[in-house]
Structure 1
Amino acid sequence: MDQNRSSGRGRIVLIGALGVAAAIAAVGIYGIAGPNGNGEAGLCASSSELAATVDGLATGDVAALIVNQTPKPAPDLTFVDDTGATRKLSDWKGRAVLFNLWATWCAPCRHEMPALDNLQAALGGDDFEVVAVNIDTGGDEKPKRFLEEVKVDDLAYYADHTTDVFRELKKAGRAFGLPTTLLIDRNGCEIAHMAGPAEWDSDDAKGVVRALIGGSQQ
């Protein structure tokens, strides 16, 4: 009887020890990789304060901004520039970015594109760029004519005629239609996103973008 009790206690101690070891291992993994297991939380930890600032500024004409309280690295989307050269969103790391998807068949885009152009003219430079990517599937002729018609002069031309960028953002829960916009800080972290158009050349929007430009950089 005493031997059985001793054996039972031994099994309990062993199970308890294994449980503690597993808990320690889990804490170790959490501490290294962050809660999602891939280290993303740590990469963008310094962007949380900026996100809180943007959240406070997202009023009026940009009240529809959805701010990420826990910023994560923006997806490294691939598209082409006006020369046909492949570009990646990570090429802009070190600069703040307003990333926008648009198409010629998108009625709200026709209204929004001049505002984005005005924003680029006002605040664009070494620290910030409006990266507006066209996703028409028929080539460059129609979107370039569209930009001429709506008198867009300051935006650089970018395109993804495969629409892979839209599908990738849709999979990430960021694109449900057009236009779609991401605000990305200098660290390459997504601070906020918006579905639908906005008056991006308004004082409200410029206040948000100035905060984005002035945000911390690792």
Structure 2
Amino acid sequence: MNTTPVFRSLLAAAILALALASGCSSEPASSASATPDAQTQAAEAHWTDALSTLDTDQVRERIAAAKGRPVLVCLWSVNCPACVQELPVLEELADQYAPDDLEVLLLNLDGNRAVVRGFFKEYEPAATVLLVEPSVADAFQATYIPKLVLYDASGEKVFDDSGFYPKGMLEALIQRASGE
């Protein structure tokens, strides 16, 4: 088969897109993990409250409680390459904005506190990390992750999409959601 360079480029892009999409479904990660050592268990105690598993109603209550400031929500998994790429951007935003100006919620779909805590073993996240039940992914229509949803200060959804977004684009959306 004689193909043109443009066709080969499009085919390669399509194959890459399928590979990324299949690696980032909203299915929970495997809960199999090694037994944590004493240091990990001590650090785990610090995360106990933050990593309680929330259902859809509890997540919606958390978002509603933030009225008066934008809320950026990300549904993610430790096994999703695009999520791992997006998290540092979200961490920078959580660090950049005062808590009264923006709340960043990282809703983890893995369902395993030790897996999530192990992911953040090098640092304490600036954003709020919450474990959520699988039903939360359905409620947010998160077929693919990372799934980003931005609510403005009045609690209205102003952005809802899956995929990686660079910091500059998210900053522009947050500024608009803040009314700036």
With the shorter chain as reference, the TM-score category is: 0.5 to 0.7
Task: Deviation per CA, 1:183-211: give whole Å up to 9, x if none.
Answer: 10111111111211112xx3332122122
Task: Deviation per CA, 1:2-22: give whole Å up to 9, x if none.
Answer: xxxxxxxxxxxxxxxxxxxxx
Structure 2's unaligned 5+ residue stretches are: 1-47
**Which 4+ residue blocks in structure 1 deviate beyond 6 angstroms?**
none
Asked whether the 8 Å contact 2:71–2:103 carries over to 1, the reply is: yes
| Shift in alpha-carbon separation, 1:186–1:166, aligned structure 2, 3 A | same
Asked whether the 8 Å contact 1:95–1:129 carries over to 2, the reply is: yes
Asked whether the 8 Å contact 1:102–1:109 carries over to 2, the reply is: yes
The equivalences for 1:120-159 within 5 A come to: 120-137=94-111, 139-148=112-121, 151=123, 153-159=125-131
1:209 to 2:174 alignment: yes
Q: Which residue of 2 aligns with 1:82?
A: 50
Alignment match of 1:94 (pick from 61, 68, 72):
68
Q: Which residue of 2 aligns with 1:179?
A: 146
Query: Radius of gyration: which is bigger?
Result: 1
Instruction: State how far apart, in whole Å, the 2-side matches of 1:103 and 1:136 are.
Output: 6
TM-score normalized with structure 2 length: 0.63
Instruction: State how far apart, in whole Å, the 1-side matches of 2:98 and 2:90 are.
Output: 10
Instruction: State how far apart, in whole Å, the 1-side matches of 2:53 and 2:136 are.
Output: 16
Give the letter for the 1:140 counterpart.
R
TM-score normalized with structure 1 length: 0.53
Instruction: State how far apart, in whole Å, the 1-side matches of 2:121 and 2:165 are.
Output: 20
Asked whether the 8 Å contact 1:81–1:159 carries over to 2, the reply is: no
The alpha carbon displacement at 1:148 in A equals 3.0
Asked whether the 8 Å contact 1:117–1:152 carries over to 2, the reply is: no
Q: Which residue of 1 aligns with 2:137?
A: 166
Q: Which residue of 1 aligns with 2:156?
A: 189
Instruction: State how far apart, in whole Å, the 2-side matches of 1:116 and 1:104 are.
Output: 15
Give the letter for the 2:173 counterpart.
V
% identical aligned pairs: 24
Structure 1's unaligned 5+ residue stretches are: 1-79
Asked whether the 8 Å contact 1:114–1:152 carries over to 2, the reply is: no
Secondary structure, counterpart of 1:178 in structure 2: coil
| Shift in alpha-carbon separation, 1:185–1:164, aligned structure 2, 3 A | same
Instruction: State how far apart, in whole Å, the 2-side matches of 1:83 and 1:208 are.
Output: 28
